[in-house]
């Protein structure tokens, strides 16, 4: 998807003086915001040094207070910068508009710009244990670096984002209000989710004790950049949902996106296999990134988090299907239903593996 011509002009002219020097291309795979790379057509090889940057249109139906995202980003990037060599990764710096603003409202839409890191890849899957170890270690380093910033200093961007009781309430409201065709298509999957009362209780009891941290909250593997040549981790990106949370959510989302043999969109779920070796590497990598700075309860919670994230996100896909696809981008009618079935299968496979591992 590309921006409309008029939009290119309107938006670009807030950030650069000669708009004809730049081209705008879609960037990344986000389901919520629209992200673009603004490339300087003056063909220099190092894009980051050549005035290239990332431009993002924030979905203000999802992020009802976009200013909070921007304020959080400023705080995080300042804090990480102050850490100097202690934080070894590249930092996504907010880029001000020509009039000095970090968020601009253009034709009813909110736009912001960020620095761009060139010569990187963001993988969709991880097949290699060493890379899994590195990826988990990198997300852990990110949270560890932010441990010296108070969790309450960040503004909440989406209320109750990974709150299970709240997601279940929304799920049950969606069931009550769904149209009959969608409800009948979803019926058997709804029953499966509803059968998990024991698991839900375990999570509800756990969160009463867990400490709040600054977490990333969207640790999909494609939210990490790796250097194209050295394949070393280069940056943690997509800080939109970075706020107060639990480490088990971050670890769980990594497992969710690295340990399934198929993507979250794949409807062929009979072929799904849980990658146990990748799971073990993620766990050791994550713990090593904290270098001992993790409480015992948090450590133990990681195994619950690995089951929780496919459960919660599957439940959100199913809720959205029942509501008529109002939240996640979809490209066909059953897309959210397929995603929900996929995530439920992953929840089952992860749970089976974790049970087997404990015995
Ligand atoms: C959304 O937009 P994206 O892809 O970064 C969602 C995440 C889900 C993910 C599922 C703000 O993230 O919570 O895990 O889709 N982000 C929001 O692919 O709802
Ligand atoms: Mg995201």
Give domain status of residue 123, yes or no.
Answer: no
Please write down the HEC assignment for all residues of the chain: CCCCHHHHHHHHHHHCCCHHHEEEEECCCCCCCEEEEEEECCCCCCCHHHCCEEEEEECCCCCCCHHHHHHHHHHHHHHHHHCHHHCCCECCCEECCCCCCCCEEECCEEEEEEECCCCEECCCCCCCHHHHHHHHHHHHHHHHHHHHCCHHHCCCCCCCCCCHHHHHHHHHHHHHHCCHHHHHHHHHHHHHHHCCHHHHHHHHHHCCCCCCEEECCCCCHHHEEEECCCCCEEEECCCCCCEEECHHHHHHHHHHHHCECCCCCCCCHHHCCECHHHHHHHHHHHHHHHCCCCCHHHHHHHHHHHHHHHHHHHHHHHHHHHCCCCCCCCCCCCHHHHHHHHHHHHHHHHHHHHHHHHC
* Closest residue to atom 19 of ligand 1, CA basis: 32
195 plus 302 within the same structural domain: yes
Give domain status of residue 65, yes or no.
Answer: yes
| Ligand 1 contact, 218 CB (< 6 A) | yes
User: Ligand 2 mean position to 61 CA, how many Å?
Assistant: 14
15 plus 79 within the same structural domain: yes
Q: Tell me the average pLDDT across 183-210.
A: 98
12 plus 32 within the same structural domain: yes
pLDDT tens-place string over residues 56-92: 999 999 999 999 999 999 999 999 999 999 999 999 9
Give domain status of residue 205, yes or no.
Answer: yes
Could you tell me the CATH number of the domain that includes residue 354? 3.90.1200.10
pLDDT tens-place string over residues 32-42: 999 999 988 86
pLDDT tens-place string over residues 298-348: 999 999 999 999 999 999 999 999 999 999 999 999 999 999 999 999 999
Number of the ligand closest to the Cα of 28: 1
Instruction: Choose the residue to mutate in 125, 218, 256 for probing ligand 1, maximizing ligand atoms within 8 Å of C-beta.
Output: 218
pLDDT tens-place string over residues 121-160: 998 888 799 999 999 999 999 999 999 999 999 999 999 9
- Among residues 65, 86, 118, which one ends one of the domains? 118
Q: Among residues of the chain, what percentage have pLDDT more than 90?
A: 86
If pLDDT is split at 50, 70 and 90, which confidence band does 49 have? Answer: low
* Closest residue to atom 5 of ligand 1, CA basis: 30
pLDDT score, position 44: 55
Q: Tell me the average pLDDT across 344-359.
A: 97
Q: Which domain holds residue 25?
A: 5-118
User: Ligand 1 mean position to 30 CA, how many Å?
Assistant: 7
User: Ligand 2 mean position to 256 CA, how many Å?
Assistant: 14
| Ligand 1 contact, 313 CB (< 6 A) | yes
pLDDT score, position 1: 43
193 plus 334 within the same structural domain: yes
- Among residues 96, 118, 140, which one ends one of the domains? 118
317 plus 193 within the same structural domain: yes
Give domain status of residue 124, yes or no.
Answer: no
| Ligand 1 contact, 338 CB (< 6 A) | no
Residue 261 CB partners (closer than 8 Å, separation 6+):
271, 272, 273, 274, 275
* Closest residue to atom 3 of ligand 1, CA basis: 30
Give domain status of residue 33, yes or no.
Answer: yes
173 plus 196 within the same structural domain: yes
If pLDDT is split at 50, 70 and 90, which confidence band does 19 have? Answer: confident
Q: Are 276 and 258 in contact (CB under 8 A)?
A: no
Give domain status of residue 238, yes or no.
Answer: yes
pLDDT score, position 347: 98
- Among residues 118, 149, 166, which one ends one of the domains? 118
User: Ligand 2 mean position to 97 CA, how many Å?
Assistant: 23
80 plus 48 within the same structural domain: yes
* Closest residue to atom 4 of ligand 1, CA basis: 30
User: Ligand 2 mean position to 216 CA, how many Å?
Assistant: 9
Give domain status of residue 319, yes or no.
Answer: yes
194 plus 335 within the same structural domain: yes
User: Ligand 1 mean position to 61 CA, how many Å?
Assistant: 14
Number of the ligand 1 atom closest to the C-alpha atom of 240: 11
Q: Which of 318, 312, 307 is nearest to 346 (CA)?
A: 307
| Ligand 1 contact, 30 CB (< 6 A) | yes
| Ligand 1 contact, 250 CB (< 6 A) | no
88 plus 136 within the same structural domain: no
Instruction: Indicate if the pLDDT at residue 30 is higher than 90.
Output: no
Q: Tell me the average pLDDT across 174-187.
A: 98
| Ligand 1 contact, 60 CB (< 6 A) | no
Could you tell me the CATH number of the domain that includes residue 111? 3.30.200.20
- CA distances, 67 to each of 100, 213, 238 (Å): 14, 21, 15
Number of structural domains in the chain:
2
Would you give the distance in Å from CA 181 to the centre of its chain? 31
| Ligand 1 contact, 32 CB (< 6 A) | yes
Would you give the distance in Å from CA 147 to the centre of its chain? 19
65 plus 178 within the same structural domain: no
pLDDT score, position 9: 81
User: Ligand 1 mean position to 218 CA, how many Å?
Assistant: 7
283 plus 196 within the same structural domain: yes
- Cβ atoms within 10 Å of 325's Cβ, excluding its own: 17
* Closest residue to atom 9 of ligand 1, CA basis: 31
Give domain status of residue 187, yes or no.
Answer: yes
51 plus 148 within the same structural domain: no
């Amino acid at each position: 998807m590309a921006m409309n011509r008029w939009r290119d002009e309107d938006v670009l002219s807030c950030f650069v003086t000669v708009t004809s020097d730049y081209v705008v291309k879609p960037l990344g795979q986000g389901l919520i915001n629209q992200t673009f790379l603004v490339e300087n057509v003056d063909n220099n090889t190092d894009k980051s040094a050549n005035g290239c940057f990332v431009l993002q249109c924030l979905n203000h139906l999802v992020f009802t207070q976009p200013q909070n995202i921007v304020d959080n980003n400023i705080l995080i990037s300042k804090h990480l910068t102050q850490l100097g060599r202690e934080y070894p990764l590249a930092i996504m710096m907010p880029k001000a508009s020509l009039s000095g603003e970090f968020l601009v409202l253009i034709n009813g839409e909110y736009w912001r710009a960020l620095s761009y890191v060139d010569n990187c890849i963001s993988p969709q899957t991880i097949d290699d244990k060493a890379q899994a170890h590195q990826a988990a270690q990198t997300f852990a380093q990110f949270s560890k670096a932010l441990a010296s910033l108070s969790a309450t200093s960040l503004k909440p961007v989406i209320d109750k984002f990974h709150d299970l009781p709240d997601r279940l309430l929304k799920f049950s409201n969606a069931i009550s209000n769904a149209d009959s065709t969608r409800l009948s298509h979803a019926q058997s999957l709804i029953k499966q989710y509803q059968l998990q009362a024991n698991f839900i209780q375990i999570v509800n009891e756990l969160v009463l004790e867990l400490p709040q941290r600054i977490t990333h909250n969207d640790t999909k593997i494609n939210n990490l950049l790796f250097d194209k040549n050295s394949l070393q981790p280069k940056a943690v990106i997509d800080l939109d949902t970075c706020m107060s949370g639990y480490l088990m959510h971050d670890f769980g989302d990594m497992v969710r996106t690295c340990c399934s043999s198929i993507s979250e969109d794949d409807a062929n779920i009979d072929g799904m296999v849980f990658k146990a070796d990748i799971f073990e590497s993620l766990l050791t990598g994550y713990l090593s990134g904290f270098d001992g700075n993790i409480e015992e309860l948090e450590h133990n919670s990681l195994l619950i988090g690995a089951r929780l994230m496919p459960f919660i996100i599957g439940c959100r896909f199913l809720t959205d299907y029942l509501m008529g696809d109002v939240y996640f981008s979809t490209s066909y009618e059953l897309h959210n239903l397929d995603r929900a079935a996929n995530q439920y299968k992953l929840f089952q496979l992860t749970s089976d593996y974790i049970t087997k591992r404990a015995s």
